[in-house]
Structure 1
Amino acid sequence: MFSSNLSTVSAAWRFVSTVARKGQSGLFCRSKHGFLPELELRFLQCTCCWRNRIPVAGFETLNTHFLTPSGPCKDDPDKHLDTCYTAEQRDTILQLLNNASPSELACVKLLKGKKSLNIVDYRMKNGPFKTLESVVNVPSLKHKTAHVVFDSILNPIRKEKKARIKLAKFIKPEIDRSWLEDANSIVSIVCGTNKIAWASVDRGMTVLDWQQLQCPNFLSGTYMASAYLSNVSEVVSLLPSADFYLIEKQSFSVHNSALFPIITHMRAVEAMLFALLEPKNTLSDSSIPPRVLNINRAAVGRHFGLLVGESRTSGTHIIQQLMIQSVSKKPSRVNFPQELLIKYRNHFQMDHRRGGEELCDALLQAVAFYELLNESSS
């Protein structure tokens, strides 16, 4: 037993002696004191720039330094490009440079404009790139530029989609677009000074319901809350079921004190619609999307070209065009059932416009919602 342990210690000592040799040839240095030498870390010197000392802390550290080109190496214009990257990295870079189209190359950093076209022209004249060093033969591509291009190919910058940002501009509160894309139908609601109009439209752009209701208690007397609630509740009872309810959000100037009664009226009706249409359980459950949303009035007007400065003009002529196209053009932008065409065929003429603005705005708001959603997804 004792002889076995002695032979093991002897073998270990011979191994340590070969690794920590006298002098500086091993990976470890021999300590000057003590019977069994303590092994101290040695350092590797960068053979490219002779400035970096890399501690030999383990194979993971070595692999990291050897597989990742160091900064000083890239600053050396005489350094061969192929030696700065691993074989796998070289294959990745060459595969993209030899197969990408000009538009795909333009997505790489520093390859916009002529550089991407120059790469394609060079490939057509000289064949595919065989080495990274041959890339600098392309006009306008120098040593430092090539390094930036190669690094961009290996580590592409992934830009976040702007669709959510665009969507947040006209829909409040913010909601995941996937919930909106899964919706089969919406009800668009527009409040006026004495009426509320709504339009129910499905994802196929077919108008399911389109009407308005007079609200005699609006802007009358002392703005009794119970009177307002009575009118709004009657409207809610007539609204068809839908996945989402979109309420028009108007912007008013706070500097115009003459608009304060209108602002108070609009906000009161809006708050009641939110309270009556939004299920209570969605307020505490983040996994359930909000059912009632605000849509910006200016965004709808901008979509249809109805904004003149900060003011929005009437969109009744657009409604007339949509109704005509529904009969004369297939596929049409909006599909109207025959009974609605008959009901509203003369409603948006000059002598009827005063009574149809809210009705017009409700339908335009629904159409704009679907079209803006599709635009933000593309």
Structure 2
Amino acid sequence: MWVARRFLSSVSQRSQSGLFCHPKHGSLPELELRYLQCTCCWRSQVPIAGFETLNTTLSTASEPCKEDINGPLDACYTSEQRDTILQRLNNDSMSDLASVKLLRGRKSLNIVEYRTKNGPFKTLESVVNVPLLKHKSAVIVFNAILNPVKKERKVKIQLAKFIRPEVDRSWLEETNSIVSLVCGTNKIAWAHVDRGMTTLDWRQQECPNFLNGTYMASAYLNDVSAVVSLLPSADFYIIEKSAISVQNTSLFPIMAHMRAVEAMLFALLEPKYSAPESNIPPRVLNMMRTAVGRHFGLMVGESRTSGAQTVRLLMTESVTQKLPRINFPEELLVKYRNYFQMGSRRGGEELCDALLQAVAFYELLSESSS
């Protein structure tokens, strides 16, 4: 037994060769020495290499860059990872970039504008020159590109659940064009869109008698009739159905206003027949406001946020992409290009809602048919 002890001790003391020599430059990291008790004599200890250190070093090398790192960004990633990140940042469209964490909204637009002006990104460090993209947020974006989060499959919304009254699907599928109408507190906006997803008309009309004075029915009728006289001909007129609760007493005047305008639009737009005919569909339909909000991801709880940013994105895609979600004629792009900017006081919410309702109608109809 003493021979075995002496042999193991002599091996541990050798520094010229063997498992316990110091690594050369460029090799694996130096391993710390641990001690192994001899099974025959518990007083004797034999030093061994700490392989836990090696495992820890190798496992941490593949982890994503930490957000609080202060060193150069390029040194934090491998060459393959850098190529993957730069390829997406240099080639993705604005809508594709918006799917990456932290790049939804203005940041994706800033990236496209920066690379258009200065050329493609050559290093990760150059990305921090993009407005609103600083060191920490850039690291989060890079890690999100390398480790994308799998999104859950979107549940399809059945068209019949938010279109009232119920209409046979075949009539909706044969639609050539619709006019989407949204009523506000002092105006009515509409968007005329055909089945080819081209915007034919898009505007709004001021209604000075809305919520003014004693809510005179004749004054309301004059304003609504003036709007109806300007509406283009279409197969269906889709009127937004607001989601104001009857139990919310503070908003009761607004709800009464919306219902009055909605009833007048139904009465003025629905054709009059001497006898009801079952083979003729209703011309005027309601579409739930909350359903449109969920389709575009604008809902926060039970409340719907502004759709101005979504409309700006749709307008940009109509120019930059070959197959945009909706097409705009040049005169409408010129007219409304600065209309939906942040902080604008032009009151374009009704215009946004009318357009989004038309897009949601066609897209949900297509999804429910597939």
How far the C-alpha of 1:255 sits from its partner, in A, is: 1.7
Counterpart position of 2:250: 258
Q: 1:317 to 1:222 in 2, by over 3 A?
A: same
Counterpart position of 2:318: 326
- AA matched with 1:319: V
> Would you say 1:281 and 2:310 are equivalent positions?
no
Whole-Å separation in 1 of the counterparts to 2:345 and 2:181: 18
> Would you say 1:188 and 2:180 are equivalent positions?
yes
1:138-149 aligned at under 5 Å gives the runs none
> Which of 279, 283, 287 in structure 2 is aligned with 1:291?
283
Say which SS state the counterpart of residue 364 (structure 1) adopts.
helix
Cα deviations by residue, 1:286-324 (Å, 9 ceiling, x for unpaired): 110000000000000000000000000001011111111
> Would you say 1:241 and 2:238 are equivalent positions?
no
Cα deviations by residue, 1:253-290 (Å, 9 ceiling, x for unpaired): 22221111111100000000000000011871111000
Counterpart position of 2:299: 307
Contact 2:339 2:346 in 1 (8 A): no
How far the C-alpha of 1:339 sits from its partner, in A, is: 0.2
- AA matched with 2:260: A
Task: Pick the structure with more helix per residue.
Answer: 1
Whole-Å separation in 1 of the counterparts to 2:274 and 2:324: 36
Q: 1:283 to 1:171 in 2, by over 3 A?
A: farther
Contact 1:244 1:291 in 2 (8 A): yes
1:5-154 aligned at under 5 Å gives the runs none
Whole-Å separation in 1 of the counterparts to 2:274 and 2:161: 23
Whole-Å separation in 1 of the counterparts to 2:303 and 2:343: 22
Counterpart position of 1:339: 331
Whole-Å separation in 1 of the counterparts to 2:158 and 2:324: 26
- AA matched with 1:168: A
> Would you say 1:171 and 2:163 are equivalent positions?
yes
Contact 1:282 1:288 in 2 (8 A): no
- AA matched with 2:295: H
Whole-Å separation in 2 of the counterparts to 1:377 and 1:314: 29
Whole-Å separation in 2 of the counterparts to 1:216 and 1:238: 16
Counterpart position of 2:368: 376
Whole-Å separation in 1 of the counterparts to 2:216 and 2:236: 29
How far the C-alpha of 1:354 sits from its partner, in A, is: 5.3
232-241 vs 166-175, greater mean Cα deviation: 166-175
> Would you say 1:214 and 2:206 are equivalent positions?
yes
Cα deviations by residue, 1:99-153 (Å, 9 ceiling, x for unpaired): xxxxxxxxxxxxxxxxxxxxxxxxxxxxxxxxxxxxxxxxxxxxxxxxxxxxxxx
> Which of 184, 193, 196 in structure 2 is aligned with 1:201?
193
Q: TM-score, normalised by structure 1?
A: 0.56
Counterpart position of 1:98: none
How far the C-alpha of 1:361 sits from its partner, in A, is: 0.3
Whole-Å separation in 2 of the counterparts to 1:172 and 1:349: 33
> Which of 344, 355, 361 in structure 2 is aligned with 1:363?
355
Counterpart position of 1:39: none
Say which SS state the counterpart of residue 238 (structure 1) adopts.
coil
How far the C-alpha of 1:251 sits from its partner, in A, is: 1.6
Whole-Å separation in 1 of the counterparts to 2:241 and 2:229: 22
Aligned length, in residue pairs: 216
Say which SS state the counterpart of residue 338 (structure 2) adopts.
coil
Q: 1:361 to 1:283 in 2, by over 3 A?
A: farther
How far the C-alpha of 1:351 sits from its partner, in A, is: 3.1
- AA matched with 2:278: S
Whole-Å separation in 2 of the counterparts to 1:334 and 1:303: 15
Contact 2:182 2:189 in 1 (8 A): yes
Cα deviations by residue, 1:207-248 (Å, 9 ceiling, x for unpaired): 000000010000011100000000000000000000000000
Whole-Å separation in 2 of the counterparts to 1:314 and 1:178: 33
Whole-Å separation in 1 of the counterparts to 2:360 and 2:177: 14
Contact 2:180 2:238 in 1 (8 A): yes
- AA matched with 2:330: Q
Unaligned runs of 5+ in 1: 1-162
Q: TM-score, normalised by structure 2?
A: 0.57
- AA matched with 1:268: A
Identity of aligned residues (%): 75
Contact 1:316 1:353 in 2 (8 A): no
How far the C-alpha of 1:166 sits from its partner, in A, is: 1.7
- AA matched with 2:344: H
Say which SS state the counterpart of residue 355 (structure 1) adopts.
coil
How far the C-alpha of 1:353 sits from its partner, in A, is: 5.4
Contact 1:189 1:247 in 2 (8 A): yes
Contact 1:282 1:289 in 2 (8 A): no
> Which of 209, 214, 224 in structure 1 is aligned with 2:216?
224
Counterpart position of 2:261: 269
Unaligned runs of 5+ in 2: 1-155
Say which SS state the counterpart of residue 367 (structure 2) adopts.
helix
Whole-Å separation in 2 of the counterparts to 1:321 and 1:353: 19
Q: 1:373 to 1:357 in 2, by over 3 A?
A: same
Whole-Å separation in 1 of the counterparts to 2:223 and 2:365: 32
